[in-house]
Amino acid sequence: MAGFDIRELMNDIEEAPGKVWFWDLEKAVIDPGRCVQCGACVAACPSDSIGIAEDDLPKLVKMCTGCSLCWDFCPRGGMRHEATWKLTGNNGAAAAANGLGRVHESYTARVKEDIPGVQDGGVVSALLIALLEAGEIDGALVARESAEEPWKGEAFLARTPEEVREAAGSFYNQTLALGHLDLEGYELPPNPRIAVVGTPCEVEGIKAMQARPWKWGSSRVDAVVLTVALLCTKSFNYEKLMLEELRDRRGVDLEEVGRVDVIRGKLIVQDRGGETILEEPIKDFHGAALKGCDECADFLGHAADISVGSVGSADGYSSVLIRTEEGLAAFEHVKDRLELRPLDKPKSLYKLDALDKKVALKSLKRPFDPDAPLFIDYEDHLESYAGTDRAPVDHEAVRY
């Protein structure tokens, strides 16, 4: 039998209308290689039926109820990612056309104190440390290096300034961060306040779920009080980038690597002494990128409270875009710890944002419309992607 057709297994009982199953998400997003590993489906599942497989992709671990929420909040599935830009007060159409989106304040910045291991200006680490010290947040969901796999980022809830410092630095693989919003097991107050640092797609998922409060199983989406988006054109598959491309093809000893960064369109790898051991155009590593990232037009993190990245500022500094009232209030706690000046090169942000959107509009198979409704019907999505290089995968056998 072609495909997984739940109706065929229900003894001719008519299925309730509107149901979309996890297998449908697999068919349309995961199996065609379009999953961006944000973890939104894990967080959205009200029955905690979706987990994380060894290949860092979502998988069904319990019975699917067909509630459709995993589909609804997937930024490559039922969630029109560009429609989330309106949730923070952005003018969706204007932001898509030629703007940075809603920005209350913008800076080129770097931290005054020395925080070992930080990337660029160290602004994000300094912000989280200041908020923890002020008691404004109880923890921050960040990425830290895996203890087992060198230079692989994994989701980590830092609850002290020391833990933030230990997790400083950047990683270029997704961590399914939203799949780690289950805060059970941590020593936290009854109503914890959490900051999340992540890619634009991860922030989009949070904002969409918070705009439609529901019972998200064990995931505490409601606990997120601040979102910081890292400017992002694409993320990479860890095995393909770090193991196949760097270790196997280029002979880089990952145990000796002290820093990995993407600057001015180049992937730069340095050893523990700060010496550059590899510098190569990032386009050479395109095959290691997540395929679904090509469909994203949100380089600037329009849905976030604060967006931060290196583009638009001199080396060693960060560009900071403060988008919401929550972002402004949070940034007040760190201002005196930073060197601040107007953005060095705002045109660079516009230029890279335009390029990112050009790629996205070419890769995206459905209509792009920031002012359209947030959700896309499953059948409409299938129709848009049918017959393309990103078409849903039809399975030859039923899944059990």
10/94 same-domain check:
no
Predicted confidence (pLDDT) at residue 31 exceeds the cutoff of 70: yes
Query: What is the number of domains present in the chain?
Result: 2
Q: Is 249 exposed, middle or buried (0-12, 13-18, 19+ CB in 10 A)?
A: exposed
235 in the same domain as 96: yes
Q: Is 389 left (phi over 0), alpha (psi -120 to 50) or beta?
A: alpha
Angle of the 325-332 helix axis to the 123-133 helix axis, nearest 10: 80
Residue 397 covered by a domain: no
Domain of 76: which CATH number?
Answer: 3.30.70.20
285 shares a domain with 374: no
Give me the sign of the Cα torsion angle 118, 123, 127, 128: negative
- Assign 3-state DSSP to the chain and report helix, strand, coil percentages, each to 5: 35, 20, 45
- Is 393 a member of any domain? no
Domain span at residue 63 reads: 6-81+368-385
pLDDT digits (tens, 9 = 90+) for 38-93: 999 999 999 999 999 999 999 999 999 999 999 999 999 999 999 999 988 777 66
How confident is the model at residue 116, as a pLDDT?
Answer: 67
pLDDT-derived band of residue 162, with 50, 70 and 90 as boundaries?
Answer: very high
Residues 273 and 171 in one domain: yes
One domain, residues 309 and 335: yes
pTM as predicted: 0.91
Q: Which residue has better confidence, 212 or 1? A: 212
104 & 143 share domain: yes
Structural domain contains residue 399: no
CA distance linking residue 68 with residue 24, whole number of Å: 9
Strands (E), 126-275: 139-145, 153-158, 194-198, 224-230, 257-263, 266-271
Q: Which helix (H) or strand (E) holds 330?
A: helix 325-332
Residue 68 domain-assigned (yes or no): yes
Mean pLDDT of 132-155: 94
Q: Which two tokens stand for residue 352?
A: 């890279």
Is 394 among the domain residues? no
In this structure, is residue 16 part of a structural domain?
yes
Q: What is the pLDDT of residues 120-134, one digit of tens each?
A: 789 999 999 999 999
CA pair distance 140, 226, nearest whole angstrom? 9
157/142 Cα distance (integer angstroms): 6
Residue 331 sits in the same domain as residue 381: no
pLDDT value at residue 274: 86
Residues 186 and 283 placed together within one structural domain of the fold: yes
Q: Which is nearest to 67 in space by CA: 3, 14, 11, 24?
A: 24
pLDDT band for position 6 (cuts 50, 70, 90): low
Alpha-carbon distance of 193 to 25, in angstroms, equals 31
**Position 399 pLDDT exceeds 90:** no
Rama region for 191: left / alpha / beta (φ>0; ψ in -120 to 50; rest) = beta
> At residue 239, does pLDDT exceed 60?
yes
pLDDT-derived band of residue 3, with 50, 70 and 90 as boundaries? very low
Q: How confident is the model at residue 334 (pLDDT cuts 50, 70, 90)?
A: very high
- Mean pLDDT, residues 28-47 taken together: 96
Confidence of residue 397 (pLDDT cuts 50, 70, 90): very low
User: Does residue 98 sit in the same domain as residue 64?
Assistant: no
- Mean pLDDT of all residues in 347-363: 94
Of residues 198 and 233, the one with the higher pLDDT is 198
Q: Identify the residue whose tokens are 């760097």.
A: 246
Q: Decide if 396 is inside a domain.
A: no
Q: Is residue 400's pLDDT more than 50?
A: no
pLDDT band at 143 (very low <50, low <70, confident <90, very high): very high
Residues 350 and 326 in one domain: yes
Average pLDDT over the chain reads 90
Q: What is the mean pLDDT of residues 374-384?
A: 95
Q: By mean pLDDT, which of 12-21, 61-70, 200-209 is the weakest?
A: 12-21
| Residue 14, pLDDT score | 64
| Same domain membership, residue 168 and residue 69 | no
Query: For residue 151, how many other CB atoms are within 10 A of its CB?
Result: 23
User: DSSP E strands: which ranges in 159-255?
Assistant: 194-198, 224-230
Alpha-carbon gap, residue 384 to 62, rounded angstroms: 30
Read off the pLDDT of residues 211-231 as tens digits, 9 standing for 90 and up. 998 888 999 999 999 999 999
Task: Give CA–CA dist 64/49, Å, rounded.
Answer: 6
User: What is the DSSP secondary structure assignment for residue 270, as one 8-state letter?
Assistant: E
Q: Do residues 66 and 155 share a domain?
A: no
Asked if the structure places residue 212 within a domain, the reply is yes
Gap between the Cα atoms of 224 and 273, Å rounded: 37
Among 394, 366, 400, 387, residue whose Cα is nearest residue 74: 366
* pLDDT (mean) for 252-276: 88
